Amino acid sequence: MLIPKEIEKYLVRDEVIEKEFYLRGRFALTGYKVYASNKRLFIRRGNSIRDIDYGHIASIELRQEHSAEGVIGGLLLVGIGAAITWWLEFAFGWALVALGAIVFVLGLVGTQYMELGVAGLTYPYKLSGHRSELDSLFKLVREKRI
């Protein structure tokens, strides 16, 4: 595993990176990396790096959130598209119906999150990604906290 110099320079004596996780955002358009050392997590998003000591993690929660805005917006687009197609006999309405269906399904599917309750932070630190990566990260953090 190749450790970026931006992370390597923050490692302390006897600290080694044990695992790397690549997590993606909601629509997989963006991604970021989490590096797990034997002492802490390094979360690298763009030019930003945050480290979280395992001892400061008070709680971990895996959850899936659905988007009510996506579901409602998708239904509205389907309805408007169907109305345009039916009343005006305009083909553009079918494009709105298709777009609405996609937005609706994405709203139902939702996003997977792992929330870390961290000492010193007012709100839980949220990591989003695919469930398999989050499950693996969850297990690693639980083992390190013991």
Burial of 49 (0-12, 13-18, 19+ CB in 10 A): middle
pLDDT value, residue 144: 87
pLDDT value, residue 146: 64
25 dihedral zone (left: phi>0; alpha: psi -120 to 50; beta): beta
d(Cα 113, Cα 127) in Å, to the nearest integer? 6
Greater confidence, 143 or 95?
Answer: 143
Mean pLDDT in residue range 29-34: 81
Rounded to the nearest 10°, the torsion over CA 57, 44, 64, 97 is: 160
Whole-number average pLDDT of the chain: 85
pLDDT value, residue 26: 57
pLDDT value, residue 58: 92
User: Mean pLDDT lowest for which of 27-31, 60-64, 78-82, 83-87?
Assistant: 27-31
DSSP H helical ranges for 1-130: 5-8, 68-88, 92-109
pLDDT cut 70: percent of the chain above it: 94
Three-state DSSP class for 11?
A: coil
User: What is the gyration radius of the CA atoms in the chain, in angstroms?
Assistant: 21
pLDDT value, residue 84: 78
